[in-house]
């Protein structure tokens, strides 16, 4: 069994599983993962 994918925010450093994050929609870029702590979309997965 594999571990849940962890995401990390480059702005505030928050780390949590993918299910704990929000989604922002941009008309040109589409859906993006958004940090619920600071609102940044500068997020990276830590596998």
Assigned domain for 41 exists: yes
CA distances from 9 to 4, 21, 27, 30, 45 (A): 16, 10, 22, 19, 9
Print the domain residue range for 42. Answer: 6-46
How much is the pTM?
A: 0.75
Q: Does the pLDDT of residue 27 top 70, yes or no?
A: yes
Assigned domain for 1 exists: no
CA distances from 20 to 27, 28 (A): 23, 24
Residue by residue, DSSP assigns 8-46 as EETTT--EEEGGG-EEEEETTTEEEEE-TTT----EEEE
Number of domains making up the chain: 1
Q: What is the pLDDT of residues 29-45, one digit of tens each?
A: 999 999 999 999 999 98
């Amino acid at each position: 069994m594999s571990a849940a994918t962890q995401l990390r925010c480059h702005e505030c450093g928050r780390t949590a599983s993918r299910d704990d994050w929000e989604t922002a929609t941009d008309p040109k870029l589409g859906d993006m993962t958004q940090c619920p702590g600071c609102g940044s979309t500068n997020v990276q997965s830590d596998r």
